[in-house]
Amino acid sequence: MRYSALIGNPTEHSISPLLFEWISEQLSQPIEYKHLKIDISQTSELSPALKAFQTLKFCGLNVTLPYKLDVISILDKLDDSISSIGAVNTVVFDTKKNLSIGYNTDWYGIYRPLSGVIAEYQKKKALVFGTGGAARAAIYAVLELGIKDVVVLYRIAESNRTKSLQNQFSDKTTIRFDVYEGIVQHIDTADIIINATSTGMVGQDAKTPFALDLLKNHEDLSRKIFFDCVFNPVNTPLASYFKSSGARTIDGLWMMIYQGLYAFMLWTGNDVLNTLTEDNLLILHKLLQKRIQHV
Active site residues: 68
Round to whole Å and give the CA distance between 200 and 238. Answer: 8
Containing 135, the helix (H) or strand (E) segment is helix 133-144
Of 196, 198, 244, whose CA–CA distance to 224 is shortest? 244
Q: What string of H, E and C letters represents the secondary structure of the chain?
A: CEEEEEEECCCCCCCHHHHHHHHHHCCCCCCCEEEEEEECCCHHHHHHHHHHHHHCCCCEEEECCCCCCHHHHHCCEECCCHHHHCCCCEEEEECCCCEEEEECCHHHHHHHHHHCCCCHHHCCEEEEECCCHHHHHHHHHHHHCCCCEEEEEECCCCCHHHHHHHHHCCCCCCEEEEEHHHHHHHHHHCCEEEECCCCCCCCCCCCCCCCHHHHCCCCCCCCCEEEECCCCCCCCHHHHHHHHCCCEEECHHHHHHHHHHHHHHHHHCCCHHHHCCHHHHHHHHHHHHHHHHCC
